[in-house]
Structure 1
Amino acid sequence: MNISGNIITLNEEKNIASCIKSMQTVCDEIIVVDSGSSDNTIEIAKNLGAIIVNQPYLGDGIQKNVALNHTKHSWVLSLDADERLTPEMTKAIQQLDLKSLDFEGYSFRRQNWIGNRWIKHCGWYPDRCIRLYNTEKTRFADVKQHASVQTRKVKNIDADIIHYSFKNIGELFAKPGRNFSGRAAKIMYAQGKRANSISPFIHGLNAFIRKYVFQRGFLGGVDGMTVALSSAVNSYLKYAKLLEYQRDPSVTKQDDFKNIW
């Protein structure tokens, strides 16, 4: 099929081979946009025939669009390094008529996993996302966080990709504390948003209720509770860090707000 693959990477030596091999079931070229890996990511990708593009990280959507300057096909399949096509998804893509003008993109169901456990509640499934799209018509939004393909001419494919989200519960809690919440707080502070003393508690509680009650995390047993608590912690930390920037100039001076990424 005439599909180009697009993967953005940073130190993904444990994931990149399986991701590329998965994509090669439907793609005849793979573009890897690497943001400075210090492990064997680039060497592994090259050995599997991928084209390497070196690009310091620009943010999620912007980085994913870098590959479009190097792809030879209009249709692009974009996966993260920790994502895989299932055999059912491979078959579904192979059966598509990409010459049709009816759709600009195709959305996939995504299975999110912690370790070897598929999390089916808390809004983690079906977690639809557009990952196959016509670059002559659309692309990822040029935003730095939580980017998605911008089109309404979408067809839902009833097959899954797999996302190995976290290796274990410890990583689930560590990543929000280390990356997501701090980055979000810096962005909010730079945009002029402010918190008050109850903001961390209120947002953390809302996040827990949304995941555990409204997105039916209670049906997921211990894992459902864990994911809901992680979401609450992430939201709490985001607003606690924002409040800290407001209250403690010494902390604010430590961070470079011109280099959030």
Structure 2
Amino acid sequence: MTPLSAVIITVNQEKKILKTIEALKLLTDDIVVVDSGSTDLTRKVARAAGAKVLEHAWEGYSAQKNFGNAWAKHDWILSVDDDEVISQELVESIRKAFTPAPDADAFDLPFRTVFSGKLIRFGGWNPESHVRIFNKKQIQWNTDAVHEGLTLKTEHRIKKLSGYVYHYTVDTPEQFAAKTDRYSTLFAEKGARLGKKANLVKLFLSPVFRFLVEYIFKFGFLDGYYGWFIAKENARYTYLKYKKLG
């Protein structure tokens, strides 16, 4: 099997990081954790689990991930967040794709979200997938402050794997509301730097449209209260990012 490294960026995630690392150990013994100033036991837990822990002051999502990639032993990188856990099925799918060697430039991984302990099956987050395995000699993270992405090109071959990355996103709805406020500010700051402005259509109609699509047309209502809350918060995010952009 062609070896790969796992890279995780962390901050104050002592309760979840062990589960993330233990799943990754089924694939690799080179697990790099880039911590940006945790005040809890995150670094201690990660080291005890066998990860290589680096402390690096926060420079943005992409910068933290690229820093970790530079310290990774292997060229192939599996990038996960500190609240994500790869499934056994995905582990087997990765092993198969990398034996003896991968025949693509990057791999797209399916995601499932666990929100306040509930698996979310419908709404705007389904189906969801992200390219999270790539060769660092060809592909890096871009410089966006929020919703970072990879520098993928049209000539890159991307294959989709089976199994899931389970994203244990928040423990309470209040935590998600706080993320809405934080991410909408980052979006507005980026837009302002680029000279963008929000019009009335985007400010008032886009949030309504997003709620209807996620809650009604993508069957978010089948997830009960959390389906409604997620659709509502995603609509609020859409409103806030344009309102803050001005």
- The question of a shared fold, defined as TM-score above 0.5 by the shorter chain, is answered with yes
Write the distance in 1 (CA, Å) between the matches of 2:190 and 2:64.
18
Q: Deviations over 1:124-168 (max 9, x none)?
A: 123111112222222322332212333341111121110001212
Matched residue, 2:120: 119
| 1:99 positional shift | 4.9
Which of 164, 167, 180 aligns to 1:163? It is 167
Q: Deviations over 1:51-93 (max 9, x none)?
A: 1222222222222111121111111111100000111112222
From the superposition, tell whether residues 40 and 221 of structure 1 become closer, same or farther in structure 2 (CA, over 3 Å). Answer: closer
Matched residue, 2:206: 203
Write the distance in 1 (CA, Å) between the matches of 2:225 and 2:43.
38
Higher relative contact order (CA 8 A, sep 6+): 2
What RMSD, in angstroms, separates the aligned Cα atoms of the two structures? 2.0
Is contact 1:109–1:125 with CA below 8 Å preserved after alignment?
no
Gaps of 5+ in 1: 244-261
Is contact 2:90–2:163 with CA below 8 Å preserved after alignment?
yes
Matched residue, 1:254: none
Which letter maps to 2:244? K
Which letter maps to 1:242? L
Write the distance in 2 (CA, Å) between the matches of 1:3 and 1:146.
24
From the superposition, tell whether residues 148 and 198 of structure 1 become closer, same or farther in structure 2 (CA, over 3 Å). Answer: closer
Matched residue, 1:150: 151
| 1:172 positional shift | 2.3
Matched residue, 1:184: 187
Moved more, 79-88 or 163-172: 163-172
The answer as to 2:231 corresponding to 1:228 is yes
State TM-score, norm by structure 1.
0.84
From the superposition, tell whether residues 198 and 148 of structure 1 become closer, same or farther in structure 2 (CA, over 3 Å). Answer: closer
Identity %: 30
State TM-score, norm by structure 2.
0.89
Q: Deviations over 1:89-140 (max 9, x none)?
A: 1222222235546301111111111122111222312311111222222232
Gaps of 5+ in 2: none
| 1:38 positional shift | 1.6
Higher gyration radius (CA): 1
What number of residue pairs does the alignment pair up?
A: 242
From the superposition, tell whether residues 188 and 143 of structure 1 become closer, same or farther in structure 2 (CA, over 3 Å). Answer: closer
Secondary structure of the 1:141 match is coil
Which of 220, 229, 241 aligns to 1:238? It is 241
Write the distance in 2 (CA, Å) between the matches of 1:199 and 1:128.
26
Secondary structure of the 1:159 match is coil
Which letter maps to 2:27? V
Moved more, 13-22 or 75-84: 13-22
